[in-house]
Amino acid sequence: MHIVLIEPEIPGNTGNIARLCAATNLELHLVKPLGFSTDDKYLKRAGLDYWNLVTIHYHENFAEVLDLYKDHTFYYNTTKAPHSYTEAKFGPKDMLVFGKETAGIPETILKENWEQCIRIPMVKDARSLNLSNSVAIVAYEALRQQNFDHLKQMGFDHLD
């Protein structure tokens, strides 16, 4: 599976997500412009010594991601979505898309893909969850739905 971050702004969040990707062998896609340098000390600190375990792809724009991964299913994570993330039926090639911290996924992308938009349920007055927490929640649900086969293939057979 793949985690796609559209224009992430906070290095600590991206570092935490990179660490999650390292621990689960999920590929990370960063769509420019990034709100930080990839040499940023906060980005590195959050990822600690996991960077060598992460497959990271950099993309100039989201259209490039769509073009390169035409045969994949995309799920767009937004607080505005009509469906809970638990309603989605995730597969091993899916692209889990998240927007930048201050604005989320651009409205044009959401409107074009409305039936593939999912959300994490929360109380009405809560604006949103932290980006790295949201990625972890949805990624682990996707892995759980697949019986953690992805992790088992990597040698984590203690999940049986």
35 marked ligand binding residue: no
In the chain, the domains with their CATH numbers are 2-159 (3.40.1280.10)
Q: Report the pLDDT value the prediction gives residue 151, as an integer from 0 to 100.
A: 77
pLDDT surpassing 80 at residue 157: no
Rounded CA-CA distance 81/6 in Å is 17
Q: Report the pLDDT value the prediction gives residue 155, as an integer from 0 to 100.
A: 67
Percent above pLDDT 70 for the chain: 89
109 marked ligand binding residue: no
99 marked ligand binding residue: yes
Question: pLDDT per residue over 77-110, tens digit each?
Answer: 999 999 999 999 999 999 999 999 999 999 999 9
